[in-house]
Amino acid sequence: MGRKGKTAGGEARRSTKVASKAEKKKGKVVQMDLFRGDRKGAKAGKGAASKAAAPKPEAPKTEAPKRRAAKREATKRGGRAAALEVVADADLEAVAGAEAVAAPEAAAELEAVAAAEPARSGKVPAARRRETAESLGKRQREISVAEFFQKNRHLLGFDNPAKALLTATKEAVDNSLDACEEAGILPEITVAIEELAEDRFRLSITDNGPGIVRGQIPKVFGKLLYGSKFHILRQSRGQQGIGISAAGMYAQLTTGQPIRITSRTGKGRPAHFFEIQIDTTRNEPKVLTDREVQWDQEHGTRVEMDIAGTYKKGRRSVDDYIVQSALANPHATVHYRPPKGDEFHRERLTSELPREPLAIKPHPYGVELGVLISMLRDTKGRSLRGALQQDFSRVSAKVADEISAAAGLNPESKPRSLTSAQVEMLFRAIPKVKIMAPPASTIVPIGEGLILEGLKQTLKADFYTSATRPPAVYRGNPFVVEAGLAYGGELPAEEIIDLWRFANRVPLQYQQSACAITRGALTTDWRNYGMQQSKGALPAAPMVLFVHMASVWVPFTSESKEAIASYPEIIKELRLALQEVGRRLGAYLRHRRRLAEAEQKRSYITSYIPHIGIALKEILGLSKTEEDKIVKTLTETLEKSRLP
């Protein structure tokens, strides 16, 4: 910036230095507030308050030589504003103790001088336009949820290209598995990734599910927060109605291409092909293509999209996700064609579908005050007792009366007539009444046997085990924790173990450190089971640890569904499950250690007994037959007495 662009803060600093030099000889420095609120001149601003408070006496009619010299020097260095300050300081010295005028007058004079500086240099500052309540109100408008997630796509798991490819695959596979299970069809999923360019891929997922009716296809794939599972408490992979439409929006955002869907609902019915984009300003689908096509599949859905991404192998990759998905869904046949490398095919381990999970009503222990107010306002029950019985799980007439009595309310009162204060009394009374836990039939775990078979098919190890905990409850929501592990064999030895996390049969690939499963594994003392573990870290051993949580409502930490919240009840069950499989592993390691010690003892016996036989032969003059008999007898005796 040129010399003409000097700031007011710079002038203030220079003027302060000049004033300081003038006052040092008399041991007195008087400061003046030049520009209140000017934060650019930090050093000058520090003394601004005292300058503003200092009174300004009447200036004498004649100037002393010292005062004129200081004024000329200040004018040369800092302009008129600095000169005025020197003049004011000199006047203060001359009439110290005299009656002062108000400080705002000095500030007003200096502001007028400062305002004249831009005019003198030819630069007139534009007046800032201030907003009014009316102008601010005109700019207010509703924000579409699609528009919000378009700008905040990291909340949905589309943080970076590698993660975006994985997230899009996961959302489509989850939808396919849910659709097949709800229709009672053994799933067969085909995932194919084709590389179009270095940073662009074509992702397609085909399933043999029931298909989607033509009228619902645009909303399912082109509207965020549109689904059938959000308002039902039932175990499922999807919950919010965001995933697959968010993947289509990411494809549209990064490549400009629409998401393509082919679906047929049954044999003899036409297959419909759609090309859909999302109108993010209205969160509505835009149908670009809608026509009937020939498709050789009797029923099912095929989803295809072009997205910007990065393909990689190893941990937290699409390859890793497919392998873990096949492990957590042993009833599914999975085919995977990656852009590079060998194809993956895994036939189902069982021909039985998982038991159908049942939907349940909210449990009183898990309801919040605002939700309770809404439920009582919208209830169909005619009395408070009836509303509690109809709208909540595990509430009988007796329990409803106990809750009403604890709240001091009449169980026959009309629920819609209750005031907010009365509902709050009811809310605070619920924890005081003992209510049964929600039914465990709503949770469908994988099962110890299938986890064990999946681990054996996926990993080459020496030891396998699994455990399924009894159902537990957090915030009124039932859940089940399962754990399994594979140890030894071809697994890497001197490395931190692999922790495979699952929620409702879905692998969790990212945000491991923020997950309750990780916290449960870290707080388990694996040294008790014969493994090495540093403080605050997972154990170092040739092991893969499998942990699964199944619930009607998994408490994810974000919309991307990558980590489970650390509720105390969940942490407790996780630790109990890990301790159970840890004890089994510890027993195996101790047994293996005893076998190794026994083998070592056996080698000692084999090495030294023949020499004892030779010595006895020489001392006692025994024959070769007698020597062999003594060696055999000693060997059997020592093995019986020393081996476990």
Confidence grade of residue 344 (pLDDT, cut at 50, 70, 90): very high
Helices (H), 343-502: 369-378, 384-391, 397-407, 420-429, 448-458
Closest CA to 73 of 81, 64, 83: 83
> What are the domain boundaries of the chain?
3-121, 147-346, 364-432, 442-584, 590-642
Closest CA to 497 of 538, 462, 536: 538
User: pTM here?
Assistant: 0.70
Share of the chain above pLDDT 90, in %: 37
pLDDT at 113 over 80: no
Place of tokens 């009228």: 215
Contact (CB, 8 A) for 366 and 437: no
Higher per-residue confidence, 521 vs 30 = 521
Most confident listed range (32-41, 113-122, 385-394, 568-577): 568-577
pLDDT at 49 over 80: no
CATH assignment of 147-346, among 3.30.70.1290, 3.30.565.10, 3.30.1360.120, 3.30.230.10: 3.30.565.10
Q: Angle between the 65-78 and 8-24 helix axes, to the nearest 10 degrees?
A: 150
Which pLDDT tens digit goes with each residue over 127-167? 677 888 878 777 777 777 677 767 777 777 687 888 889 88
Most confident listed range (93-102, 303-312, 598-607, 623-632): 303-312
User: How does DSSP assign 540-599, residue by residue?
Assistant: BSSEEEEEEEEESS--BSSTT--SB---HHHHHHHHHHHHHHHHHHHHHHHHHHHHHHHH
Over residues 74-79, the mean pLDDT reads 53
Over residues 459-488, the mean pLDDT reads 91
**Lowest mean pLDDT: which of 273-282, 541-550, 574-583, 624-633?**
624-633
Rg of the chain taking only CA atoms, in angstroms: 39
Higher per-residue confidence, 48 vs 248 = 248
pLDDT at 176 over 80: yes
Closest CA to 74 of 24, 120, 12: 12
Helix, coil or strand: residue 40: coil
Q: Give the pLDDT confidence score for residue 544 in this predicted structure.
A: 94
The 3-state secondary structure of 327-385, one letter per residue: HHCCCCEEEEECCCCCCEEECCCCCCCCCCCCCECCCHHHCCHHHHHHHHHHCCCCCHH
Over residues 37-53, the mean pLDDT reads 43
Q: Report the alpha-carbon distance of residue 257 to residue 252 in Å, rounded.
A: 5
Place of tokens 């110890």: 448
Residues 6+ apart with CB under 8 A from 294: 271
Q: Give the pLDDT confidence score for residue 128 in this predicted structure.
A: 73
pLDDT at 252 over 90: no
Closest CA to 349 of 335, 333, 362: 333
Q: Report the alpha-carbon distance of residue 79 to residue 84 in Å, rounded.
A: 9
Contact (CB, 8 A) for 410 and 404: yes
**Lowest mean pLDDT: which of 16-25, 64-73, 318-327?**
16-25
CATH T-level assignment (fold) for domain 364-432: Helicase, Ruva Protein; domain 3 (1.10.8)
Helix, coil or strand: residue 130: coil
Higher per-residue confidence, 608 vs 546 = 546
Q: Report the alpha-carbon distance of residue 573 to residue 471 in Å, rounded.
A: 9
Confidence grade of residue 632 (pLDDT, cut at 50, 70, 90): confident
Which of 368-372's residues contact partners 24+ apart within 8 Å by CB, and which partners?
369/423, 369/424, 369/427, 372/423, 372/426, 372/427
CATH (residue range 442-584): 3.30.230.10
Which pLDDT tens digit goes with each residue over 495-533? 899 999 999 999 998 889 899 999 999 999 999 998 888
Name the average pLDDT for the chain: 80
